[in-house]
Structure 1
């Protein structure tokens, strides 16, 4: 019995959908958290943090996560139907997630003011959310092909 025998097998479309959904939900969660930290401060000051965070989000999307998403979609398209459900992410991505979660926990519980933390949280959350759209574009592009 192997690890893949323990998990349900799903189609490529489900894997791509799941990846897009997870990236989108996590991105939205991080952005929501960042905006909640900015609520207590005045809008003129908060807008500066938002601009910096969104600039990072677009740069991270353009030069980083969009390429990771495209590479992941190519990997998912090589699977025959019936891949294990956990295959929606590569093992390397799971390792990165294993680093990012404790890092986020440490940052949230540090002495760094939350409005300053909002910048990288908006950056990462925004880039994840934007990159999630690549999965859905790929999915709907595949569905439109005969």
Structure 2
């Protein structure tokens, strides 16, 4: 009859899936913002801003978010019991998310031209999306039965 009875507990497979959905979903949202801000640019500007965002995404993904995703997976995969549905991220990660969301809102309302912000949003968005795919790979590879060939 304790409070644990009301805790929305789920299996680690669901936690890995939720993390992938969250990371890819936020990545898509940021890319949507970034792309929409480029609607009035010339073709040449589009090429430059998209290429710069893509070039920014690779190191952000590889040296930043991928390490965080791997660390998170190393925490989630050994779990044996059901955990709270919100434990797909650590408390520290929730604080980082709040800071990043606040910074994103501040940037969107700043005087920086949106086409320049699009590089940041597309770079971080694509990096989040690519890193989020790691969760789906683990979800499908480790937790879904494969059919024999």
Same fold (TM over 0.5): yes
Are 2:83 and 1:78 equivalent residues in the alignment?
no
SS at match of 2:45: helix
Q: What number of residue pairs does the alignment pair up?
A: 145
Q: What is residue 134 of structure 2 aligned with on the other side?
A: 134
Shift of 1:5: 5.6
When Rg is computed on C-alpha atoms for both structures, the one with the higher figure is: 2
Q: What is residue 63 of structure 2 aligned with on the other side?
A: 63
Q: What is residue 25 of structure 1 aligned with on the other side?
A: 25
Shift of 1:121: 0.4
Shift of 1:145: 6.5
Q: What aligned pairs does 1:107-122 form with structure 2 within 5 A after superposition?
A: 107-122=107-122
* Structure 2 unaligned spans of 5+: none
Distance 2:35 2:48 in 1: 12
Are 2:46 and 1:52 equivalent residues in the alignment?
no
Q: Deviations over 1:90-118 (max 9, x none)?
A: 11111100101111000000000000000
Tell me how large the CA RMSD over aligned residues is: 1.6
Structure 1 length normalisation: TM-score? 0.93
Shift of 1:143: 2.3
Structure 2 length normalisation: TM-score? 0.91
* Structure 1 unaligned spans of 5+: none
Q: Deviations over 1:109-131 (max 9, x none)?
A: 00000000001101110000001
Distance 1:78 1:87 in 2: 13
